[in-house]
Structure 1
Amino acid sequence: MPQGDSQPNSGTARLAELKMEGIASGALLGRIGNLEVRLARNEAEVAAAQEVRYRVFYDEMGAHKGALQALDRRDADRFDPVCDHLLVLDSSISGPEHRRIVGTYRLLRQEAAVAAGGFYSQDEFDLPGLVSRHPGERFLELGRSCVLPEYRSKRTIEVLWQGIWAYTNHHRIGVMTGCASFPGVDPAAHAESLSYLAHHCRAGADWDIRAVPGRYQAMDLMPAEAINAKSAIAGMPPLVKGYLRLGARIGDGCVIDHDFRTVDVFIILPVSEISSRYVNYYGAEAQRFST
């Protein structure tokens, strides 16, 4: 769900303060074998992450290219300057360090969203409404997740989540949210998987969130008794399955993103509700890498 190539607003003045509150530049947040995860340290590394995103979203998945994106071959929008960019790097690759980036995740903390004038996903889902109902929680919006094809393995996902967990602990995040995408622009092509989410994975009343009016698409396309759970789960993108394993719940309705050519669902993951096995697993790494 891109929002164009507009320049960052006046909230970037607050960005400098937010960065000073953040994790030390270059601090390692996780490592598995030759894969390391940390935050981008400078504009060159953010640009390299945007190039990786372009290769995945535009070259591979066929997202609609704006003129500037096609010229720069980078996926960039006005939120990038106020986000932290989590990077997976392959330390075995020679050359400049920013050319070792093989995966990335964009992290937008609630404070930075205020500085930016809102959350990225609120054009699709009523995230401001959800935030307002939980004034005591600190929200983190996850987005723009992508990994180069040759690195799409359990190990890469594991190291990404090491980084996210360390980041979440450092900033005392209470709730992780964001969109997760099914390929294509036809919800009916994913009827069984979307229906399974609608019938079995919906958020409770406290955490419920609905797609914005005018973009709402029903997810309950099949009756519950007609769904084969095994095939429904097998048909989900790995990112969605990964969130569900952690204990995430799903918002009400999906949204078609014609620019990115995806069907988006909304993920809600209160940190307090993450499955205990993952708290124990990632918690050990967070103690090593968070500051």
Structure 2
Amino acid sequence: MPGKCSPRYKARYGAGAQDLRAAQALRFRCFRGPGDGLDHDDFDALCRHVLIEEEATGRLVACFRLLPLTSGRAIRQSYAAQYYELSALEEFSDPMIEIGRFCIHPDAKAPADILRLAWGVVTRDVDAEGAGMLFGCSSFAGTDATLYRDTFALLGERHLAPKRWLPRVKAPKVVRFAGRLRKKPDPKRAQSGLPPLLRSYLMLGGWVSDHAVVDEDLGTLHVFTGVEIAAVPPARARLLRADAAQMA
């Protein structure tokens, strides 16, 4: 069961319809804008939902969902498979976990603490499931790819998936990374354009698809992102497990 590795926040699994609605309301706020709507889909019923709340007030500040898969043979059951052709990953023999709908309330303080706590939860689930890979869709705000030319060029130059796992194009509207810039990407602009979750993935040795999907429904661009657990640098793995241990 999740707990806390930050004095400000605590994490727990959702329990029942009220928690799910709270998560869906926060997702609506983060992905679709202010309002009283709910962001929901059929995958909600299949997933384990994680809620991160302020310790003092109980206010929900972040949430995400986890979908365990027995192996790559089940990859077509994932949310990401709607947008990416993932047949190469069907050869992955170990259990996998898909991370989805990760969001942090725009008014939340100390987002780095929230992200650290979220990774503590994920680490515990990875160990409990014996997962060999984490994956998901990392979202960029908006659908204007020109805002992320340097970032996409950097991803295409340094962080593409290994050829044996590389996702192929499936969605009708995509932005290919090849040729995004004729010159080297500006490192500062490239790094500033990385969403925090994707930056964390890359620090763990993660990789991405060679294209971004234009998601008109959510008003985002997203890239398939994966990290093989065996490839996580040992020092980072120790830090993650130390955080996870504090959550007992």
User: TM-score, length-normalised on structure 2?
Assistant: 0.90
Contact 1:195 1:224 in 2 (8 A): no
Query: Which protein has the bigger helix share?
Result: 1
CA deviations over 1:155-211 (Å, ceiling 9, x no partner): 111111111111111111110011111122122221111011011111112322123
Query: Which residue, out of 27, 30, 42, partners 1:56?
Result: 30
The gaps in structure 1 that reach 5 residues or longer are 1-26, 61-69
Q: Residues 63-102 of structure 1: matches in 2 within 5 Å?
A: 73-93=37-57, 100-102=59-61
More strand by share: 2
Distance change >3 Å, CA 113–CA 245, structure 1 → 2: closer
RMSD of Structure 2 on Structure 1 (CA)? 2.4
Q: Secondary structure at the match of 1:164?
A: helix
Equivalence for 1:217: 175
Structure 1 stretch displaced more, 193-202 or 181-190:
181-190
Superposed CA offset, 1:247-273 (max 9, x none): 111112111001111111110111111
Per the TM alignment, residue 30 of structure 1 is displaced from its structure 2 partner at its CA by 3.3
Structure 2 CA distance for aligned equivalents of residues 214 and 59 of structure 1: 25
Alignment of structure 1 residues 207-286 onto 2, 5 Å: 207-212=165-170, 214-223=172-181, 225-286=183-244
Question: Which stretches of structure 1, 4 residues or more, deviate above 4 A after TM superposition?
Answer: 111-117
1:31 is matched with 5
Provide the TM-score with structure 1 as the length reference: 0.77
Change over 3 Å in CA distance of 1:277–1:224 after alignment to 2: farther
Question: For residues 242 and 182 of structure 1, what CA distance do their matches in structure 2 show?
Answer: 14
Paired positions, count:
247
User: SS of the residue aligned with 2:107?
Assistant: helix
AA in 1 matched with 2:176: A
Deviation at 1:115, TM superposition (A): 9.1
C-alpha separation in 1, matches of 2:84 and 2:238: 31
**1:176 match: secondary structure:** strand
Partner of 1:46: 20
How far apart, CA to CA, are the structure 1 residues paired with 2:211 and 2:76? 24
For the pair 1:151 / 2:108, whether they are aligned, the reply is: yes
Structure-2 change in CA distance of 1:116 and 1:195 (3 Å): closer
Partner amino acid for 1:121? A
- Unpaired segments of 5 or more residues in structure 2? none
* Conservation of the 8 A alpha-carbon contact between 1:31 and 1:37: no
